[in-house]
């Protein structure tokens, strides 16, 4: 991951996911890691954290993740240095089509990891193969209903996407189980009541 450039145009992708797990992070001790992401010309980048866990007793001075506009860390910082276990509450975007992600790690902790998505978008009129987000962004149509918040405002989520269908099925199963428990309980009480009446007559 370190030192790479992800050119979305050459890779023919409209969105991607960066996932740094614990074993990979453990190999990045005492070093700075930089990654450049480049969207197609005329498009900007929107980033959305899915999760983060960067433990450090020194604040965010030594162990952190930071995003820069452009391709150097001398450019404008998008969100400043970020660490701890609470991801940014909102998405964040570039003004141009490039961003540099810097991951600094000097103290080794077992739980260090992060998970985020990046998506190319533009504003203005959306074309026929694009989805219009509620916040005015245009993303590729294939990103609609893919279980990720590529718009940044949740407007590309679908009730009947994979996650939505799984949620509906699980909810239906739970409701059916609750109904079965209630019916079984009522049947048991009625049978017990009938048995007590029969015993009283005898």
pLDDT at 187: 87
Give pLDDT tens digits for 149-198: 999 999 998 875 555 556 677 888 899 899 989 888 888 888 777 776 65
pLDDT at 57: 66
Give pLDDT tens digits for 71-86: 998 999 998 888 877 8
The alpha-helical segments, DSSP class H, found in 58-202 are: 162-201
Beta bridge partners of 31: 105
Note the pTM of the prediction, 2 decimals. 0.72
* Closest CA relative to residue 147, chosen from 133, 130, 159: 159
- Distance (Å, whole) CA 118 – CA 85: 20
């Amino acid at each position: 991951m370190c030192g790479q450039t992800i050119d979305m145009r050459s890779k023919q992708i409209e969105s991607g996911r960066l996932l740094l797990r614990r074993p990979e992070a453990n190999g990045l001790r005492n070093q700075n890691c930089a990654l450049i992401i480049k969207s197609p010309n005329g498009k900007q980048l929107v980033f959305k954290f899915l999760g983060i866990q960067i433990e450090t007793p020194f604040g965010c001075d030594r162990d952190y993740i930071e995003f820069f506009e452009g391709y150097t860390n001398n450019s404008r910082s998008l969100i400043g240095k970020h660490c701890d276990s609470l991801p940014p509450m909102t998405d964040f975007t570039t003004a141009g089509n490039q961003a540099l992600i810097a991951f600094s790690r000097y103290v080794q902790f077992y739980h260090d990891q992060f998970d985020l998505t990046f998506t190319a978008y533009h504003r203005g009129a959306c074309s026929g193969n694009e989805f219009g987000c509620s916040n005015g962004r245009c993303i590729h149509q294939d990103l609609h209903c893919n279980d990720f918040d590529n718009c940044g405002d949740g407007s590309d989520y679908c009730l009947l996407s994979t996650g939505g269908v799984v949620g509906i099925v699980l909810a239906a199963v739970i409701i059916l189980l609750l109904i079965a428990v209630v019916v079984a309980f009522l049947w048991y009480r009625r049978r017990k009541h009938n048995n007590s009446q029969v015993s009283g007559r005898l």
